[in-house]
């Protein structure tokens, strides 16, 4: 009897470890849980967009196939193969894609399955980054901060890692560092925003009329107010694109190093990141989600959510020993369980 009880307890412990067992009780969601729920909402939005009529036709596979252009053969050939499979079976494959995203969103929203869903989202995001986004155009030379580089879906994977609910939290002055630790989280931030600054200076963004052309294209199929915004912005950038690209690169570089600055400056850096992300999202035409042909909200919205995960906390988080670690201020934040 004792051995059976021990066996059941061991299995329950393993299931609890992967997030598949419901914990008793309920407390108010803490900051990390709220950000997880926002991420779940974006996954559910993706699922709804995947159910659009356009996605069940040939246009979707053609859109995916177009991401192969300019990539090395080792990247492009699998993209072309997958696009052909989708073109041959559009209804079945798109339904599968939609239900996978729906399951991920619901899984993140349902606390007992959050770890399973976040883990699945990482694998799915990496696959879509290759087969659906052509690695965000980074290797083809077509990627830029305003057209979704380094690939919106890779930010989903990054968010899943940074918002992972570990058994024991590390000391960190912001939510994004509670699982990986503050140093790793800062390095990931630096790589992401630093790469965006680098891409802003590449020909796909800095060349004359390149930035204006990217923004103007986003106006197609949009509601009147958004099409007008993108058209006017596109015309302005056609005349001042190279200068704006340099300014954008400087702003992105400032954001990249902001997390290494003292608390007031770091907070200002996060605000700058959110504002920059909002401008990028507007220039992206909100990812085309209002056109009937958008598959996701693109990178702007996700960059804003990521920035919120780096907001300097007014309270300490738990150290590796489980005790309050006074990294940021006074009172410890409630542990994950919310």
Q: How many domains does the chain have?
A: 1
- With respect to residue 205, please indicate whether it lies within any of the assigned structural domains: yes
Rounded to the nearest 10 degrees, what angle do helices 90-109 and 58-65 cross at? 80
In a domain, 136, yes or no: yes
Helix, coil or strand: residue 172: coil
Q: Is residue 4 part of a domain?
A: no
pLDDT tens series, the chain, 338 aa: 444 444 444 444 544 554 444 444 556 788 999 999 999 999 999 999 999 998 999 889 998 999 999 899 999 999 999 999 999 999 999 999 999 999 999 999 999 999 999 999 999 999 999 999 998 988 888 888 988 889 889 999 999 999 999 888 888 999 999 999 999 999 999 999 999 999 999 998 888 888 888 888 888 888 888 889 888 888 998 888 899 999 999 999 999 999 999 999 999 999 999 999 999 999 888 888 888 888 899 999 999 999 999 999 875 444 443 444 433 333 334 444 44
Residue written as tokens 């369980």?
Answer: 337
CA atoms within 13 A on the CB side of 227: 8
B/e letters for 94-108, b = 16+ CB within 10 Å, e = fewer, are beebbebbbbbbebb
Question: What is the predicted pLDDT for the residue at 279?
Answer: 93
pLDDT at 23: 47
Whether residue 330 lies inside any domain: the answer is: no
Q: Which residue has the tokens 């986004």?
A: 133
In a domain, 34, yes or no: yes
In a domain, 65, yes or no: yes
d(CA 140, CA 173): 37
Q: What is the pLDDT of residue 28?
A: 78
Q: What is the domain extent for residue 296?
A: 29-309
Measured in whole angstroms, how far is the alpha carbon of residue 117 from the centre of its chain?
15
Per the listing, tokens 């997030």 go with 19
In a domain, 35, yes or no: yes
Burial 17-26 (b: 16+ CB within 10 A, else e): eebeeeeeee
The structure's pTM equals 0.84
Residue 85 covered by a domain: yes
């Amino acid at each position: 009897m004792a051995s059976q009880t021990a066996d059941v307890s061991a299995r329950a412990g393993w299931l609890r470890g992967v997030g598949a067992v419901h914990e008793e009780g309920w407390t108010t969601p803490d900051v990390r849980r709220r950000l997880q729920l926002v991420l779940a909402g974006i996954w559910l939005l993706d699922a709804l967009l995947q159910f659009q009529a356009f996605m069940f036709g040939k246009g979707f596979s053609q859109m995916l196939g177009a991401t192969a252009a300019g990539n090395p053969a080792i990247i492009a050939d699998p993209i072309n193969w997958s696009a052909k499979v989708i073109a041959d079976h559009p209804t079945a494959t798109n339904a599968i894609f939609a239900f996978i995203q729906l399951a991920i969103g619901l899984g993140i929203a349902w606390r007992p399955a959050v770890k399973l869903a976040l883990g699945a989202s990482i694998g799915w995001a990496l696959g879509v980054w290759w087969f659906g986004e052509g690695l965000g155009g980074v290797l083809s030379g077509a990627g830029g901060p305003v057209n979704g580089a380094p690939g919106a879906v890779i930010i989903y994977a990054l968010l899943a890692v940074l918002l992972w609910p570990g058994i024991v939290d590390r000391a960190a002055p912001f939510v994004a560092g509670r699982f990986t630790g503050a140093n790793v989280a800062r390095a990931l931030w630096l790589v992401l925003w630093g790469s965006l600054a680098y891409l802003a200076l590449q020909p796909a963004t800095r060349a004359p009329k390149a930035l204006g052309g990217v923004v103007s294209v986003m106006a197609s199929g949009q509601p009147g107010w958004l099409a007008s915004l993108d058209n006017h912005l596109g015309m302005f950038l056609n005349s001042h694109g190279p200068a704006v690209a340099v300014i954008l690169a400087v702003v992105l570089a400032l954001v990249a190093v902001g997390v290494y600055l003292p608390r007031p400056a770091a907070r200002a850096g996060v605000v700058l990141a959110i504002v920059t992300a909002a401008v990028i999202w507007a220039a992206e035409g909100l990812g085309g989600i209002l056109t009937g042909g958008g598959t996701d909200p693109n990178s702007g919205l996700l960059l804003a959510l990521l920035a919120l995960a780096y907001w300097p906390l007014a309270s300490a988080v738990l150290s590796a020993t489980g005790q309050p670690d006074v990294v940021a201020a006074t009172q410890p934040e409630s542990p994950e369980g919310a």
